[in-house]
Amino acid sequence: MAADQRSKQLRALIATAGVRLVPDLAAIDRAFVHESYAREFKQPSNERLEFLGDSVLGAVTAAWLYERFPDEPEGELTLRKAWIVNDAQLARTARRLGFSQLVLLGAGMRNAGGAENASILADAFEAFVGAIYVRYGIERARRFVLREHIERLEHDAGAPLDAKTRLQHHAQAHLGATPSYVDEDHGTPQQPAFVSRVEVNGRLLGTGHGSSKKLAQQAAARDALRALELNGSVRDEA
């Protein structure tokens, strides 16, 4: 990307946080320097900004959820927060905002398609939030997170996320893995009956029964969520 085009795109992106006059883009541009590029060109990466932005994003999200869902318990809020800030959601927003064209990657990572990697894009999103916070303060960072990410997601106040989705978001955000299901058919064509077991990192978390594979998996996910809540995992990993 040509320098003038990159500058124009960065200024347009910063404007989404309510900032119109940007005399120096260097501090913001650093949010897009992946570690592979930093190593190759001997300059600081976006990792420190990512660390800061992660905390800012979490605080803004938690405050928004606290106000939006005043009657929900801590466990539900925690699951909603995990869904909002997981890599897949952040990467989706980052792609919409053109981060794939802005992220700076080393040659190997670039050739491997790193500009579309969900983890890299999510990290850049967090780093950008951190850069906005450092340069322009919490209110600008909050405005950006709310306007460009949280408020563009669908939030159903009446019905919590289904059990499988809730478990997946929680596991990816806090356990570093995606749940896997092992299904067994114990029924007949006339009376179908399935048993599903859900595991995360090789650990059995829940078992469920149902007249279809889908229903059995949902039951297993609910059983896993109950187990996590009982042993404090959901609360402690907020």
Is the same domain home to 122 and 99? yes
Is pTM beyond 0.75? Reply is no
d(CA 47, CA 32): 10
CATH code of 8's domain: 1.10.1520.10
Reported confidence tier of residue 18, pLDDT bands at 50, 70, 90: confident
d(CA 143, CA 136): 11
Active-site position among 54, 123, 148, 223: 54
Domains held by the chain: number:
2
State the residue range of the domain holding 65: 3-152
Exposed/middle/buried for 177, CB within 10 Å: 0-12, 13-18, 19+?
Answer: middle
Q: What is the pLDDT of residue 95?
A: 96
Q: What is the pLDDT of residue 161?
A: 62
Q: What is the pLDDT of residue 237?
A: 39
Is the same domain home to 168 and 202? yes
The predicted-structure confidence for 143-173, as pLDDT tens digits, reads as follows 999 999 999 987 765 444 678 888 887 888 7
Query: What does the H/E/C string look like for 70-138?
Result: CCCCHHHHHHHHHHHHCHHHHHHHHHHCCHHHHCECCHHHHHCCHHHCHHHHHHHHHHHHHHHHHHHCH
Active-site position among 50, 87, 126, 148: 126
Active site residue 126: yes
Active site residue 183: no
Is the same domain home to 32 and 148? yes
CATH code of 183's domain: 3.30.160.20
